[in-house]
């Protein structure tokens, strides 16, 4: 009886160990999945905090309050028109390094890289009660770093560019989006589109940073803001109120330094291997000695090909018409009396002999810089 009890206990122990091992492996797979998912967007410290919480709904779609930052290079199409693909890629790698580190430094998540910009989200996937402050500080850091890079680019004989940043806060849905073969963690909602429209408004407002009123209402005592009333935004029927962000009212003396030259990512570009040189042509064979008179005569040439005779074509009998055919008259399209010669529809053409002149003028350059006495120079509002 004792032996039977021992056997049963041993079997129960083995079943418990097997169950524990399967559970441990499932937890490890979930940890690796979460780490692989969020390590693309946030810093390792934020990933560790996500894993410590052990929230099973962290990757599922849920409604959250977030702040979206959209940063793009102004007129990047015209800027990169005179660059080679390698030079354009170098600019983008440097731009992503400046913007990405600034976003992650302020506890933001890199949502996506654009062909001419970057999108960051604050307050996702972990709630952040100070997300508006962190988003505006990240935007100011980006402006200062890009402004400081002008000197380095000038020393390298390269052109500089200007950026525009739009920021908006509100309710979004954060979670996986896509389809079965490709999914990624992102945020969706009207506030994301609103941030894009504010970024486009930076060109008309001649400003570097434009934030929504909902973002700036909670940080008015910390930042120097210029209100803008009735801003027309593309795709929106109503006029919007926003703020031009000039800087911090009290600079926190945070060290902001440019990365080293070697800190920027260098994309490896594979070049096609050079084709091997062709082998030298073989020497022609020596000419044979003249043949004797008794040599055999050359073979006769092959008979020429003859094409078969064309088939005989029987002419069709002519059909006599009772009346002569009337000439066809072209159909006229209805004429409208509306003239389309409007000034808004006229496209400017380059002058003769000035083929290098662009079709459309470049956007206005931002004004000069000023020193607020408490921090690096920030762009003046219009």
CATH number assigned to the domain comprising residue 217: 3.30.70.1230
Residues 12 and 161 in one domain: no
Residues 256 and 135 in one domain: yes
Tokens of 289: 């000695």
Give yes or no for a contact between 215 and 135, defined as CB atoms under 8 angstroms apart: yes
**Mean pLDDT confidence for 97-104:** 92
| Model pLDDT, residue 371 | 40
Give yes or no for a contact between 42 and 104, defined as CB atoms under 8 angstroms apart: yes
Residues 31 and 167 in one domain: no
pLDDT band at 134 (very low <50, low <70, confident <90, very high): very high
Residues 154 and 255 in one domain: yes
Residues 232 and 261 in one domain: yes
Single residue among 268, 289, 315 that ends a domain in this structure: 268
Q: Report the distance separating Cα 370 and Cα 382, nearest Å.
A: 13
Torsion of CA 246, 188, 59, 179, to 10 degrees: -140
Instruction: Tell if the pTM clears 0.85, that is, is over it.
Output: no
Domain assignment of residue 244, yes or no: yes
pLDDT band at 344 (very low <50, low <70, confident <90, very high): very low
Tokens of 229: 């009333």
Q: Omega of the bond prior to 125 within 30 degrees of 0, cis?
A: yes
Domain assignment of residue 277, yes or no: no
Domain assignment of residue 301, yes or no: no
Per-residue pLDDT at 262 exceeds 80: no
Residues 102 and 248 in one domain: yes
**Centroid of chain to Cα 19:** 46
Structural domains of the chain, count: 2
Domain assignment of residue 28, yes or no: yes
Q: Report the distance separating Cα 321 and Cα 49, nearest Å.
A: 95
**Domain span at 139:** 55-268
| Model pLDDT, residue 269 | 75
Domain assignment of residue 237, yes or no: yes
Residues 71 and 4 in one domain: no
How do residues 216-225 score in pLDDT, each as one tens digit?
Answer: 999 999 999 9
């Amino acid at each position: 009886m004792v032996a039977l009890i021992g056997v049963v206990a041993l079997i129960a122990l083995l079943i418990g160990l097997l169950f524990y091992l399967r559970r441990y492996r499932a937890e490890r797979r979930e940890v690796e999945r979460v780490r692989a998912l969020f390590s693309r967007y946030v810093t390792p410290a934020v990933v560790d905090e996500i894993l410590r919480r052990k929230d099973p709904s962290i990757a599922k779609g849920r409604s959250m309050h977030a702040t979206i930052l959209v940063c793009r290079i102004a007129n990047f199409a015209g800027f990169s028109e005179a660059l080679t693909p390698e030079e354009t890629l170098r600019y983008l790698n440097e731009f992503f390094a400046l913007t990405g580190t600034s976003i992650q430094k302020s506890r933001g998540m890199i949502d996506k890289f654009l062909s001419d910009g970057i999108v960051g989200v604050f307050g996702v996937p972990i709630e952040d009660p100070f997300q508006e402050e962190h988003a505006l500080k990240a935007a100011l850091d980006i402006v200062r770093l890009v402004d400081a890079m002008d000197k380095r680019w000038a020393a390298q004989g390269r052109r500089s560019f200007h950026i525009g940043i739009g920021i908006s806060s509100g309710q979004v849905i954060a979670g996986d989006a896509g389809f079965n073969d490709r999914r990624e963690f992102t945020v969706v909602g009207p506030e994301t589109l609103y941030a894009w429209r504010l970024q486009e408004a930076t060109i008309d407002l001649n400003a570097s940073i434009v934030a929504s009123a909902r973002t700036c209402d909670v940080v008015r005592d910390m930042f120097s803001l210029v209100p803008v009333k009735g801003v027309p935004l593309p795709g929106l029927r109503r006029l919007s109120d926003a703020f031009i962000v000039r800087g911090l009212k009290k600079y926190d003396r945070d060290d902001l330094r440019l990365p080293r030259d070697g800190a920027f990512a260098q994309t490896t570009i594979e070049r096609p291997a050079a084709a091997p040189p062709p082998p030298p042509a073989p020497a022609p064979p020596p000419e044979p000695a003249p043949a004797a008179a008794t040599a055999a005569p050359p073979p006769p040439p092959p008979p020429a090909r003859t094409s078969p005779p064309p088939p005989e074509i029987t002419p069709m009998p002519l059909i006599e018409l009772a009346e002569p055919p009337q000439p066809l008259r072209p159909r006229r399209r209805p004429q409208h009396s509306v003239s389309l010669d409007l000034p808004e529809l006229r496209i400017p053409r380059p002058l003769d002999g000035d083929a290098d002149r662009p079709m459309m003028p470049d956007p206005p350059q931002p004004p000069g810089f000023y020193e607020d006495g408490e921090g690096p120079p920030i762009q003046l509002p219009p």
